[in-house]
Structure 1
């Protein structure tokens, strides 16, 4: 299940978030809301990862104010290649998602207001 992939890649983000379960629920919620007006395939998957990260950002309080990584992630470009085998695509997708997640930030709420990238 894709939500398990999101969970494996993002739930251990540092600084710690207390809302990984809310992130997984947000991810599932995006994918569950599919109807004829929904974005297709990759766009919907990107939206689900962005929703998960947004939920994680909220759980960094009270020590940090989290800011999720920006969209788009870039899955569309990655998955548009038809020449790669499934193992290569999976490895490249994991690398892309991890690199994207590390662009999220957390700003310490108290002095010295240190800004950290998610790790």
Structure 2
């Protein structure tokens, strides 16, 4: 099970491209997974969408699916609020939703559908 207190480390282990960003601003982000995920990881995802980097998007959404499946309650909330909910408000995400949706797992699809219907 993924534990919330390790959320940033888990992200960096699975998406190593996030390590430099975290290391550059460690003093600011340390102990603040919501801030790091929503500020940096969400922006990284949007850039991958804009660049149509399907391989990276598959990797990202596999990670998100695993976090929703194996994460503790706080991890699931972190993913749903800082990533899934934030992405639903991104204009570029709305434009590319059908393209990106093919990368979603079952739990990710359920989360997006739940948030879109709120």
TM-score interval, normalised by the smaller of the two chains: 0.3 to 0.5
TM-score normalised by L of structure 1: 0.37
TM-score normalised by L of structure 2: 0.38
Return the index of the structure with the highest Cα Rg. Answer: 1
**Higher strand proportion:** 1
**Higher helix proportion:** 2
